[in-house]
Structure 1
Amino acid sequence: MGQVHVVGPNRALLISGSGASGKQPRVIVGGRAFVPWIFQRADFLSLELRTIIIESKKSATAYGVMVSVTGVCQVKISGFRESNSGSGSPKLEKDVHAILLAGQHFIGAKKEEIEHSVASTMEGHQRSILGTLTVEELYKDRSAFSARVRELANEDLRLMGMELVSYTIATISDEEGYLDALGISQTESVKKVAQIGESVNRNEGRQRNAEEELKAQLKINEAKKKIEQSNRDVEVMQAKLKEEVNVANARADAAKLFEEAKLKQSIVEEETKQDVVRATVQVDVESEKVRRRRMELDASVRAQAEAELFKKLKEAEGIREFASAEAHRIKLIGEAEAEALRKKELVEVDMLRLKADAYKEYGQAALATRMIETMPEVARAIAAPLAKTEKIVFLGASGGSSSGPSALLSEVTKGAHIVNEGLQAITGVSLGEILKGDSSLNGLERLAMPIALNAVVANQGH
């Protein structure tokens, strides 16, 4: 006969004796087993967590300072352990080796005996680690101390079938007041740091306030700057508008002056044209008068002969004076026109154009007019040699040739022919042909009379 034993997950059943698998006890956790009497034995081990106080009184540190350390550890017999399966997720499997070791050490032992064994082991490791640390290191870094104790104790507890679940330092004390002094020093240091921090915070607060005030002032200054910039932009815009208005007014005034100048120029042009027309008509009238007077003088000379020569000479002198006065008048008119043209550049240009158009329009007539104006100078040039003679004697000639004054007129006529040929060779215009208007007299014969009279008058003056 025997007995059926049922065990929960917090207990381990060790079956030993004949019939066990091999010579090693059979371990059952969270199951049941039939144990026959006489042949087999059943022993139980608790797998529950045990909390043990570890005290190390008056333990020497690295510099010989005696301190008392109280630690708290939690241990248990290792019933299960994690194992990594092929799926990657951890899996719990029964830790048979640890249970057998615990059974070897603790079957039949009381709870207090088991805890005392564990506490003795942990206290030994705790003292050994205290001997390598200073009080300051122990005080400042308890977690490092706990880690070193766990590292050393794990292996020994594993050999006992135990598993160290946790270990922490509960208290550290000494009878000489070293820790209290260290705490005071640390407290004062912390206070000092706190005061420094408070001062720094106060200064930072003041600095932040100053910075905020500075930012506010900068914003105010920036706003004022923008206002001043806006006012300056408005003033610049007003100045530009005023400048544009002034430019527009100046342009309007200039346009007005330009239009007035153009109007005055037009008036001057019309007046000049009228003056030119009047001068042209006057020249034609005077030319006709001269031609008529010369014809009358010619006829009188032929009719009255030598008896009326003196009278004719007087008339010729009057004609010469009249021609000189007329030339002077025309000269004055020309000078006045030149002065007006110098003052008005545009009028001068138009006047030149009008003269060019007049020469182009009248052609040979205009050229003849100019030639007539210069004939008195030609007459004086021809008569200049005669003016140097003291006396002229007229001798008759046979064969019906001219004699006396007639011979003089014949010589003068020849000179006029030579001048006319020269002018015709230069200009292509024959003055004699132009002046042909009377079939009874040749053109050069009408010119010969004034030239002869001029010669006589010049000789008479000497």
Structure 2
Amino acid sequence: MVIGVVAGVVLAGLLVLIGLFKLMWRVAEPNEALVISGSAHKTEGLGEGMGFRIVTGRGTLVIPGVQAVRKLSLDLNETMLSVDCVTQQGIPLRVKGVVIFKVGDDFVSIANAARRFLDQQKMMPERVHIVFAGHLRSIVGGLTVEDMIRDREKLTGQTRAACGTEMEKLGLIVDSLQIHEIEDPTGYIKNLAMPHAAAVQRDARIAQAEANRLATEAEQTAQARMAEATRDSEILQAGYQAERDKAAAAARQAGPLADAAARQEVVVQETRVAELEAHRREQQLQADVRKPADAQAYEKRTLAEAERDARISAAQAKARETELAAAAEATRVKTAAAAEAQATEARGVAAAKATRATGEAEAAATQAKGLAAAESARAAGLAEAEAIKARAAALAENQEAVVAQQLAENWPEIVAAGAGAFGNVEHMVLLNGAEGMSEMFAKALTMGGTGLGLARQLLSSMNQQGAAGQSAESRNGRAAANGHAVPAGAGEVPAARIPIADGDGDADRS
């Protein structure tokens, strides 16, 4: 606890010392001087017993209550001069200017200024104006207007020299003295300038006239040169026009040739585009029509064959089942008859009945076999009728696919017929090489395209015959179901003859 108290006391003492130091320590700014009064001090250059101390640019200790500290500004000050003067010639003038001054940086100047302006620093510009106004009137009174106009620096120098001693006593120095304007209420300066202005105006008019003459001569010379240049230009233009006309004529002659060449190139490109378009359409037909049609026809044909095979299998299974049932029944009857015959033979009285029973059993077996055969024939007929119906429906829905399939199957013969168109040609001249040969062969093959219409007509007739065949097939199926025999080929559609166009456009192949 004692240590804490001692530490607190020490800390409080330090704080008091710091506070007293801050209270006693004063620092002078670069643009000010501290004037410390209250005790005798010795300042360099000022002698002893002055009664105050001057501090600039550093700090110093001041005893509060014993010494007083005041600041003296070392900043620049200015005062505007506007002084009414009379020259040596008796001409009244008003001189306007500005004086820039400040307190001197040496201790003597600071001491002189402190004694005179320490409490009246705002009065400095007014005091300086009074000093400069008196000396300026005195100096202007000894000069003429011409001297003031021609040598304004002389007026400035004499004024600064005359005020220098008084300003030094005040502790001030003049940084700048500028005479801005000299006003002349009587117009003396203006009249003084009129002869010179008239002479200058005369010289200006003479110079302007000379300049106009020279300009006219230059303009005439320039116009002559312009005419000469125009003549040379027109001659050159005529030559250039002749060259242009010649070039235009050549261009007009080259135009039809270029157009013909361009049209020829266009025809060639259009031909190639047509060939590519035909090839594309062929490929598109292969992809969009033939392959889907082949797939659909194959699907329907496969489904019809599967359904037919299923029905035939079912009919055969049923017929087999009936046959086995009849055989079983016949075996049972035969067994019973044999047993009965044995019994009759043993008894000797039932021989006739056993013989009769055996005949009835054989008759029943025969009838069962006939019924099974009839059921099998009926099922086969129904399956064949369904297959024919499915094929007729496929022909009705996909005529284009059937034609395309028939064309694909007979394509070798078509190609042989197209090549036959050139069989009797001994010599052939091709202008475009391999492309010309391909074009001639393609045109020969496309001549067979007229057979497509005949193929469609044939398909229509086949559809009608298919409908008639279906009716006959249904009748045959009913006849088979009733136990009647069906003649071979009665329900089949006659084979279609598809005309194939040869190179001459005639349908000579089926």
TM score, norm. by length of structure 2: 0.34
* Larger-gyration structure (1/2): 1
TM score, norm. by length of structure 1: 0.38
